[in-house]
Amino acid sequence: MEKNTDKKIIAQNKKAYHDFFVLEKLEAGIELFGTEVKSIRQGKINLKDSWCFVKDGEMFVNGMHISPYEQGNIFNRDPLRTKRLLLHKREIKRFYSQVKQEGLAIVPLSVYFLKGRAKVEIGLCKGKKLYDKREVAAKKDAMRNIERSLRR
C-alpha cells in the first residue's frame, strides 16, 4: 500500500516574497494537535505575519494563524499559539548563527502536506528596501510587456 508522495501545498506566504529576499530554504516538520491538522487540511491557515525564532536550542513559529476546527469543540487550541518546528540541531544552529551575525530573519514561506505529514518551508531572508521593491515591480512589468508583445 503506497502513500501519496507528491506535495500538496495548502498555504503560501506571498507577502514574504514581497518584503524579503529569500537566501536559503529549508523544510521543517511542525508540532500540531489533531484539530489543527484537520483545520489545515481544510485550508484554514494564514501565514501573512508569521515569523520564526530560536529559544533554548529549539525553533518556534509565531503568528501562524490556524482557524479553529468547527467540529473540534473542547479540543480546539488557541489559533495563534506558538508552534514548535521539528529540525535537526545543526540546522537550527546554522540558521540562528546567520540571524545573529548578519541580521537576517527566518520566515515561514509555505505549508504543505508531504506523505501525509504537515511540513513548513522556512526561509532565511534579508529585508528589501523600498527601492528594491520598486526594481522588482519594474522588472515584472517589463517582462509582462515583452510577453504581451510576443503573443501578438
Instruction: Work out the end-to-end distance of the chain between its first and last CA atoms, rounded to an integer number of angstroms.
Output: 50
What would be the CATH architecture of the domain defined by 8-151? Answer: Beta Barrel (2.40)
Distance CA 51, CA 48 (A): 9
The model's pLDDT over 77-121, given as tens digits with 9 standing for 90+, comes to: 777 889 999 999 999 999 999 998 888 999 999 999 998 899 999
> Does pTM top 0.85 for this prediction?
no
Map residue 39 onto helix, strand or coil: helix
Domain segments of the chain: what residues? 8-151
Q: Does the pLDDT of residue 63 top 80, yes or no?
A: yes
Give the mean pLDDT of 48-55: 92
Chain center to CA of 78: 19
Q: Does the pLDDT of residue 59 top 80, yes or no?
A: yes
